[in-house]
């Protein structure tokens, strides 16, 4: 007699048990935390610091268990949606989106996202299995759904044929990095190096504005990556100018950003000129045209087609960054306290954002951190520098977190108590693509160049 296959209802009961256990653990943790606060206030326990370290470790374990439970529940919802669509095809039920929406328990956006996950898991069952096993999250499926929304049938089939590689990559990569990998795969399938995507993004760009009853103006919109980089770069520079010229009375915050936007629009006719856009491109692409291992993207990591890059290079400052045989930029600066423009160019060629694991703050908002501190003999060269946003730069210095660059440029991070937090691979020199999702040319990676449209 064959083994019993649990029904969706039996699996749901199992997930409910997981949720109940996780809630109990969280309540226990809250109770422990409250007790520790009392001990801190009264000073009645000399081992408070050690207890707090144990509590922090327990909370991390509970968080991991909660995430695993969340993924299991997502898997159940996917199975429910798939079965509902089957019943809808037979005329005995509403479709999955309508069923998931229920009577208003969730938003329409949530129901549509869950329904899209179900369709994706049906066409790529290996990813659905990985979600059920808790090794990938629902947001990994969302990344594929967003990137593949405009694919035709043939392109979709080609992407589905890579589901094993995508599932393996999703288990290793955070969602943002995985999304970049999926977009690179789709560009490779289309063999247009992102041109159609760029045209679609520009066609979908929009700006909307309205006035509320009290006279406050509101606006929202979306832009393709190239024009968004122009807008954000201009606002960031204006914010810096306004803050620096205020004698410390104005912070670099959202309110100053609003003032910066008005300043730019008000004085636009007097400030016209070339836009400031950073483009990272490999030399082979720049000289001979795109190839399978093409690197062509904006400074924040957003991919652009070679045609757009070529337009920028018509009137641009081109800065060369040479990389070694292992794909790591060679040191292009000298030993000084602050990073030189050439060293920043090398860091921008390697990273699109803050080096901290999971942080998506653009590199334009980061500072160069010395792994070995300058005051203790650390050199200002690329082997000792990483870009960190303000929050994580403070975490390393004032917060006592520890970081170290490994030989492959992976950033290893330790918590203040000495326990390992995460390993963050390089963001732009995608090591996870080598031999996995698309072919790489033999020999050393191509020399990279950075163009800065000034």
161 and 13 in one domain? yes
Average confidence score pLDDT of the chain = 75
Give domain status of residue 112, yes or no: yes
Give domain status of residue 326, yes or no: no
- Domain extent, residue 68, equals 8-197
Helices (H), 191-305: 195-204, 225-244, 254-266, 283-288
138 and 48 in one domain? yes
The CA-atom distances, in angstroms, between 378 and each of 105, 167, 348, 350 are 56, 41, 21, 21
pLDDT at 222: 93
pLDDT at 28: 65
pLDDT at 428: 59
134 and 18 in one domain? yes
Judge whether residue 269 has pLDDT over 50.
Answer: no
Least confident of 87-91, 119-123, 336-340: 336-340
Residue that is last in its domain, among 167, 197, 227: 197
pLDDT at 327: 54
The 3-state DSSP composition of the chain as helix, strand, coil percent (nearest 5) reads: 55, 15, 35
Q: How many domains does the chain have?
A: 3
265 and 191 in one domain? no
246 and 159 in one domain? no
Q: Phi and psi of 297, rounded to 5°?
A: -155, 165
pLDDT at 95: 83
Can you tell me the mean pLDDT for 224-234?
87
Task: Evaluate if pTM is beyond 0.85.
Answer: no
Give domain status of residue 50, yes or no: yes
Give domain status of residue 58, yes or no: yes
Give domain status of residue 210, yes or no: no
Dump pLDDT digits (tens) for 154-200.
888 999 999 999 999 998 888 888 988 898 888 888 877 778 878 88
239 and 135 in one domain? no
Q: What band does 452 get if pLDDT is binned at 50, 70 and 90?
A: very low
pLDDT at 219: 92
Dump pLDDT digits (tens) for 331-359.
543 445 567 777 787 787 778 788 898 88
């Amino acid at each position: 007699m064959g083994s019993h296959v649990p029904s969706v209802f039996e699996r749901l009961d199992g997930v409910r048990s997981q949720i109940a256990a996780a809630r109990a653990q969280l309540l226990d943790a809250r109770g422990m935390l409250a007790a520790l606060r009392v001990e801190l206030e009264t000073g009645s326990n000399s081992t408070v610091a050690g207890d707090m370290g144990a509590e922090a470790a327990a909370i991390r374990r509970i968080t991991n268990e909660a995430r695993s439970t969340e993924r299991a529940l997502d898997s159940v919802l996917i199975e429910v949606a798939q079965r509902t669509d089957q019943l809808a095809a037979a005329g005995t039920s509403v479709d999955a989106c309508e069923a998931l929406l229920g009577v208003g328990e969730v938003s329409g956006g949530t129901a549509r996202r869950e329904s899209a996950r179900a369709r994706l898991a049906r066409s790529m069952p290996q990813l659905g299995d990985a979600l059920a096993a808790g090794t990938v999250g629902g947001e990994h499926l969302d990344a594929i759904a967003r990137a593949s929304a405009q694919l035709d049938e043939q392109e979709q089939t080609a992407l589905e044929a890579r589901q094993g590689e995508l599932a393996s990559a999703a288990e290793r990569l955070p969602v943002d990095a995985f999304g970049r990998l999926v977009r690179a795969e789709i560009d490779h399938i289309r063999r247009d190096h992102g041109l159609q995507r760029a045209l679609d993004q520009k066609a979908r760009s929009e700006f909307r504005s309205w006035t509320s009853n009290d006279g406050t103006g509101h606006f929202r919109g979306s832009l393709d990556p190239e024009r968004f980089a122009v807008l954000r770069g201009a606002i960031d520079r204006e914010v810096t100018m306004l803050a620096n010229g205020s004698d410390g009375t104005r912070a670099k915050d959202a309110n100053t950003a609003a003032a910066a936007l008005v300043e730019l629009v008000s004085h636009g006719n007097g400030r016209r000129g070339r836009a400031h856009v950073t483009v990272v491109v490999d030399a082979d692409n720049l000289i001979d045209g795109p190839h399978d291992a093409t690197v062509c993207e904006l400074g924040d990591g957003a991919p652009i087609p070679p045609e757009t890059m070529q337009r920028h290079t018509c009137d641009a400052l081109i800065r060369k960054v040479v990389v070694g045989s292992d794909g790591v930029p060679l040191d292009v600066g000298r030993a000084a306290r602050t990073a030189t423009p050439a060293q920043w160019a090398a860091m921008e060629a390697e990273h699109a954002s803050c080096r901290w694991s999971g942080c998506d703050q653009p590199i334009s908002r980061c500072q160069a951190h010395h792994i070995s501190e300058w005051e203790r003999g650390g050199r200002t060269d690329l082997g000792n520098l990483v870009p960190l946003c303000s929050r994580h730069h403070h975490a390393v210095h004032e917060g006592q977190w520890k970081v170290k660059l490994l030989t492959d440029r992976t950033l290893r991070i330790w918590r203040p108590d000495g326990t390992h937090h995460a390993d963050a691979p390089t963001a732009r020199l995608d090591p996870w693509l080598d031999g996995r999702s698309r072919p790489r040319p033999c020999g050393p990676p191509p020399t990279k160049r950075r163009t800065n449209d000034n």
